[in-house]
A = this chain, B = another copy of it.
Amino acid sequence: MENRTEISILGEFGLIDHLTKNFEIQNVSTVVGVGDDAAVIDHFGKQTIVTTDLLLEGIHFDLMYTPLKHLGYKAVIVNLSDVYAMNATPTQITISIGFSNRFSVEALDEFYEGVYIACEKHGVDLVGGDTSSSDKGFIISVAAIGEVSPDKFVKRSTAQKGDLICVSGDLGGAFLGLTLMEREKKIFLENPKVQPDLENEDYIVGRLLKPEARKDIIEFFAKNDIMPTSMMDISDGLSSEVLHLCKQSNLGCRIYEEKIPIHDLARKAAFKFGLDPTVCALNGGEDYELIFTLKQEDYDKITLNEEIAVVGYMAELEEGTKLLTKGGNTFDITAQGWNAFNK
């Protein structure tokens, strides 16, 4: 039988104490953390980064197939990914949650265990937040704070014509994981006796439930004196993000289908589901990889990193935003690429 402690026994402040007591301060800049009205962060000659994301049950996650520990981990990671996308180092987060009385203390412990693991892995302090009862499912709001030297942060709007377009890791896996979980959920709801068939699908399920923020890429930049000309993280699919970089930098682009990095296991899963892997990479979200542009003369600096692929280049605005396919065709990249592409 599950061990269940009612949250009402702890009370709100007892709950906060309970949930945060294992968080140790990791940064000397964290002067005041949890337990006061606000957190105090000390910075000297650095610039502070702030970002926030709201995650809602039924919209951003489905508790039917998302373990709470993974959810806590992911809620932090998606925010840290935004900080890395500024070429910055995350240092603190705040986390606010709303939850109904269907959640036990143990359930929230699980959630915070995931939060804790993500914080520890990235050297980040949890410095505040808010908890609330909710009659509206599980609600998560995370704000992440980071720091960067004034001359190092990288915006979306500063790409130049001719710059190489690069992406980290591989794309489309998280969307295929989602497709799999939604399929298994449907089967389970129709017949609860059928066991989920997740064999050999660890990779895509992991991409969905336990995404990583690319700290390693930012560290690689610092170590090799690489300064991207523009950067953002890939949360809504390659198409959407390339269009953001183009729009904000007032440029066009060329993307080569054959250069888009797709993991073999994602490719296999796509074929199994009857989906085009390229379409999954272009339009599936939640990969949390980085897309950035680089001066051509910096190309040699990145060739040693197998986690970085050059997928195209920035073009004149008048040249439009185009995908060149393996078959030699040219398509317009659109935010609704999924539909356009499936015609």
Chain A positions within 8 Å of B, measured between CB atoms, are 31-32, 35-54, 56-60, 82-83, 85-86, 88, 92, 94, 96-98, 127-137, 139, 141, 143-146, 148, 150, 153, 155-157, 232-233, 248
Find the residue from A57, A137, A141 having the highest chain B CB count within 10 A: A141
| CA distance in complex: A35, B50 (Å) | 12
| CA distance in complex: A178, B116 (Å) | 38
Q: In the bound complex, do residue A50 and residue B136 qualify as a contact, i.e. CB atoms below 8 Å apart?
A: no
Residues of B within 8 A of A85 (CB): 37-38
| CA distance in complex: A143, B129 (Å) | 9
Residues of B within 8 A of A35 (CB): 156, 248
Among B43, B53, B57, B248, contact of A48 (Cβ-Cβ < 8 Å): B43
Subset of 25 A-B contacts with CB under 8 Å:
A36-B86, A36-B157, A38-B82, A41-B47, A42-B47, A43-B43, A43-B46, A43-B47, A43-B48, A44-B44, A44-B45, A50-B128, A50-B143, A51-B94, A52-B128, A52-B143, A53-B130, A54-B96, A54-B131, A56-B132, A57-B136, A59-B135, A134-B136, A136-B136, A136-B137
| Beyond A37-B232, A50-B92, 15 extra complex contacts between A and B, CB < 8 Å | A38-B51, A38-B144, A40-B47, A40-B86, A40-B153, A42-B150, A43-B43, A44-B45, A51-B94, A52-B143, A54-B132, A56-B139, A60-B132, A96-B141, A136-B136
Residues of B within 8 A of A144 (CB): 38
Q: In the bound complex, do residue B52 and residue A134 qualify as a contact, i.e. CB atoms below 8 Å apart?
A: no
Residues of B within 8 A of A86 (CB): 36-38, 40
User: What's the minimum C-beta distance from A229 to chain B, rounded to whole angstroms?
Assistant: 14
Q: In the bound complex, do residue B32 and residue A39 qualify as a contact, i.e. CB atoms below 8 Å apart?
A: no
User: What's the minimum C-beta distance from A293 to chain B, rounded to whole angstroms?
Assistant: 14
Closest B residue by C-beta to A94: B52
User: What's the minimum C-beta distance from A180 to chain B, rounded to whole angstroms?
Assistant: 24
| CA distance in complex: A57, B135 (Å) | 9
Q: In the bound complex, do residue B58 and residue A136 qualify as a contact, i.e. CB atoms below 8 Å apart?
A: yes
Q: In the bound complex, do residue B40 and residue A48 qualify as a contact, i.e. CB atoms below 8 Å apart?
A: yes
Among B31, B56, B83, B132, contact of A134 (Cβ-Cβ < 8 Å): B56
| CA distance in complex: A125, B150 (Å) | 19
Q: In the bound complex, do residue B98 and residue A54 qualify as a contact, i.e. CB atoms below 8 Å apart?
A: yes
Residues of B within 8 A of A134 (CB): 56, 59, 136
Residues of B within 8 A of A146 (CB): 38
Find the residue from A32, A86, A136 having the highest chain B CB count within 10 A: A136
Q: In the bound complex, do residue B156 and residue A37 qualify as a contact, i.e. CB atoms below 8 Å apart?
A: yes
Residues of B within 8 A of A156 (CB): 35-37
Find the residue from A45, A54, A98 having the highest chain B CB count within 10 A: A54
| CA distance in complex: A126, B59 (Å) | 25
| CA distance in complex: A83, B40 (Å) | 10
